[in-house]
Homo-oligomer: A and B are copies of this chain.
Amino acid sequence: MLNLKNEKIPRATITRLALYVQQLEVLEQEGEKVVSSEKLARACGVNPSQIRKDLAYFGEFGVRGVGYYVYELKEAIKKSLGLDRVWNVVLVGVGNLGRALLRHHVLRKRGFVIVGAFDCDPFKIGEEIAGLEVMCSSNLPTKIKELNAEIGIITTPPERAQRAANYLIRGGIKGIVNFAPARIAAPEKVVVEYVDFINHLFSAAFQISLNQSKGFYS
């Protein structure tokens, strides 16, 4: 039922669909019932045909001459992305960032529930954070099955990211979201996503340097 057309869906499309959901929620809160691709495009900072093409990968959700029904479109996208259910997540690496994510209620609001926290530091094991007791990382392989987790978040220091990944993989995890600034090796069937916010700082710094060398700031 997913991906009816069986075409390859661009990575960029997925990212944008998530953005559309975000903006549709804003529109919904503002009481808008219907939205045109043009209006939604303005809100998202993209081209209107881009939106129509992105949606076309999954079906026909609009009404010609009218636009899209906000609520229906939002739900349709979420369903298409597999976000119409709860995903159980385990987190490895209870440092500053790990703690922040454990306490971050936006994750839960979006359907991602952290059901286990793991670390290899004996001083952290046993500590309770956001209602979860930190467990030893070596228990991951059995705990993943027990907790029925499908996604693992890595928030360890970079040098320990691969070890964390190995534990997750051994436990049969289906996807990894890696916040550590390091590449990790995984079998092809395991989905790996990188969240590298230092990249974004790099990118900002570079673009500012470019602007400066163009005399942008006089």
Residues of A within 8 A of B (CB): 1-3, 11, 14-15, 17-19, 22-23, 26, 43-45, 81-83, 87, 89, 96-97, 99-101, 103-104, 106-107, 110, 112, 150-151, 174-177, 179, 181-183, 189, 191, 193-211, 213, 216-217
Contact = CB atoms under 8 A, between A and B. Distances in A.
14 contacts: A11-B203, A19-B199, A22-B181, A22-B183, A82-B210, A83-B202, A96-B103, A151-B201, A174-B208, A174-B211, A176-B204, A177-B200, A195-B195, A197-B197
B204 A177 contact: yes
Nearest to A202: B18
Contact of A97 (B104, B194, B202, B207): B104
B151 A204 contact: yes
Contact of A209 (B81, B101, B207): B81
Contacts of A43: 183
B177 A201 contact: yes
Contact of A205 (B151, B176, B181, B204): B151
A168 B17 CA distance: 29
A142 B201 CA distance: 23
Given A191-B204, A198-B18, A200-B194, A213 B1 contact: yes
Nearest to A78: B202
A112 B201 contact: yes
A145 to B, nearest CB: 13
Given A97-B100, A201-B110, A150 B206 contact: no
A213 B3 contact: yes
Contact of A107 (B87, B201, B206): B201
A205 B96 contact: no
A87 B205 contact: yes
A14 B197 contact: no
Given A82-B208, A151-B204, A175-B208, 17 more contacts: A11-B203, A15-B199, A18-B203, A22-B181, A44-B183, A83-B206, A87-B201, A96-B99, A96-B101, A110-B202, A112-B205, A150-B208, A151-B208, A176-B204, A177-B200, A191-B204, A194-B200
